[in-house]
């Protein structure tokens, strides 16, 4: 796992896609030509045409990125969230290159690979911290599961023919109860992910807040809620309802028995993201969703 280079970059890629394989090859070649070391997972190295100077590690653990200054991730949203897990655990900043569709976590697109390599080599990037959430599941008064998420923790129904009956709580006080398909508790980063699909608001990343967004609720008052970042959100699954399921970032899941209680609060550990551009989130939003802005004249001068 050693390298002769004084600077090392960890590369994570979705090697199941031909585009990712070619992109990974170009990034590796560019970094090596500039004298940087590259480290990859052994399972991914088997699918990539890599020179022997590229170091490999067996498992994606925090120790795997020891000594690395950056984690470069090539892929769609799923791969970027996989990279976020490693970035959070290690504290190494993640630079995402979008090879999927929307890719709000990505800082660059497939056509920007040369620019990505140049910015990494010259350290022409900044690092920002993104808020996470910590999740605790209680059952019969006992903690049965703990987790975290960068985007969201979603409490969802399992039985398609029956709604999930829940009661929502903010800061120790009940808000409302209803039957629904689920509840999404999200960060500002996650406001453009599952919470957005459920009808939640778009929240700018620099805003510190927590979101609670119902999914297909059968109720008159089932509006998205935006709370203080210090608030504690809770979703109680009613004892008489079918069991549910908790998904964190759509990657990690645990069953929720009837009567379970899910608590969500601001995460103790953020995810660090490398930024190449100083463009506003407004411009990113317009570009990612191809929003119609023709006719805009701007503020009068």
Domain of 230: which CATH number? 2.60.200.30
Mean pLDDT score, 53-58 = 92
Any domain includes 153: yes
Q: At residue 281, what are phi and psi to the nearest 5 degrees?
A: -65, -30
Q: Are 50 and 138 in a shared domain? A: no
How far from 247 is each of 22, 81, 186, 209, CA to CA, in Å? Answer: 32, 13, 12, 20
CA angle 184, 185, 189 (to 5 degrees): 105
Any domain includes 253: yes
Q: Which residue out of 47, 59, 77, 112 is catalytically annotated?
A: 77
Please check the confidence at residue 1 and state whether its pLDDT lies above 70: no
147 given a catalytic annotation: no
Please check the confidence at residue 96 and state whether its pLDDT lies above 70: yes
Question: For residue 25, what are the domain limits?
Answer: 8-130+271-289
Please check the confidence at residue 247 and state whether its pLDDT lies above 50: yes
Query: What is the pLDDT confidence band of residue 10, given thresholds at 50, 70 and 90?
Result: very high
Any domain includes 297: no
Please give the pLDDT value at position 147: 98
Please check the confidence at residue 2 and state whether its pLDDT lies above 70: no
Q: Are 276 and 235 in a shared domain? A: no
Any domain includes 76: yes
Please give the pLDDT value at position 3: 44
| Residues of each annotated binding site for NAD(+) | 77-78, 82, 151-152, 162, 181, 192-197
Q: Count up the domains in the chain and report the number.
A: 2
Nearest to 246 by CA among 140, 144, 171: 144
Please check the confidence at residue 264 and state whether its pLDDT lies above 60: yes
User: Per-residue pLDDT tens for 25-42?
Assistant: 999 999 999 999 999 999
278 vs 66, residue with greater confidence = 66
Angle between helices 18-33 and 113-121 (to 10 degrees): 30
Mean pLDDT score, 250-264 = 96
Q: Are 236 and 281 in a shared domain? A: no
Q: Are 144 and 254 in a shared domain? A: yes
| Cα gap 96→75, rounded to integer Å | 8
Proportion of the chain above pLDDT 70, given as a percent: 98
Please give the pLDDT value at position 58: 92
Please check the confidence at residue 4 and state whether its pLDDT lies above 80: no
Q: Are 275 and 166 in a shared domain? A: no
Mean pLDDT score, 46-63 = 90
Any domain includes 2: no
Strand 233-237 to strand 225-227: parallel, antiparallel, or no bridges (unpaired)? unpaired
Q: Are 190 and 230 in a shared domain? A: yes
| Residues of each annotated binding site | 77-78, 82, 151-152, 162, 181, 192-197
Please check the confidence at residue 104 and state whether its pLDDT lies above 90: no
Report whether 208 contacts 270 (CB < 8 A): no
Mean pLDDT score, 91-95 = 97
Please check the confidence at residue 109 and state whether its pLDDT lies above 90: no
Please give the pLDDT value at position 168: 98
Mean pLDDT score, 127-135 = 97
The sign one gets for the Cα dihedral 20, 22, 23, 29 is positive
User: Per-residue pLDDT tens for 157-210?
Assistant: 998 888 999 999 999 999 999 999 999 999 999 999 999 999 999 999 999 999
Please give the pLDDT value at position 5: 58
């Amino acid at each position: 796992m050693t390298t002769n280079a004084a600077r090392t970059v960890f590369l994570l890629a979705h090697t199941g896609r031909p585009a990712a394989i070619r992109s990974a090859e170009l990034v590796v070649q560019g970094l090596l030509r500039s004298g940087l070391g590259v480290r990859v997972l052994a399972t991914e190295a088997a699918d990539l045409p890599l020179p022997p100077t590229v170091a490999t590690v067996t498992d994606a653990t925090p120790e795997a990125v020891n000594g690395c200054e950056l984690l470069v991730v090539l892929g769609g949203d799923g791969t970027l969230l996989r990279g976020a897990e490693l970035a959070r655990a290690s504290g190494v900043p993640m630079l995402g290159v979008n090879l999927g569709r929307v890719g709000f976590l990505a800082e660059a697109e497939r056509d920007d690979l040369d620019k990505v390599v140049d910015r990494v080599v010259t350290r022409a990037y900044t690092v920002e911290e993104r808020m996470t959430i910590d999740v605790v599941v209680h059952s019969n008064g006992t903690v049965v599961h703990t987790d975290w998420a960068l985007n969201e923790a979603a409490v969802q129904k399992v039985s398609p023919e029956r709604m999930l009956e829940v009661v929502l709580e903010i800061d120790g006080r009940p808000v409302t109860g209803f039957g629904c398909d689920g509840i999404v508790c999200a960060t500002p980063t996650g406001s453009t992910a599952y919470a957005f699909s459920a009808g939640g608001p778009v929240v700018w990343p620099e805003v510190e807040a927590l979101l609670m967004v119902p999914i297909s609720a059968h109720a008159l008052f089932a509006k998205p809620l935006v709370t203080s970042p210090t608030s504690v959100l809770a979703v109680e699954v009613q004892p008489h309802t079918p069991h549910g399921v908790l998904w964190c970032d759509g990657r990690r899941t645990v069953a929720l028995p009837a009567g379970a209680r899910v608590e969500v609060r601001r995460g103790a550990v953020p995810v660090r993201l490398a930024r190449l551009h100083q463009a506003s989130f407004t411009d990113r939003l317009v570009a990612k969703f191809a929003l119609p802005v023709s006719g805009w004249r701007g503020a009068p001068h």
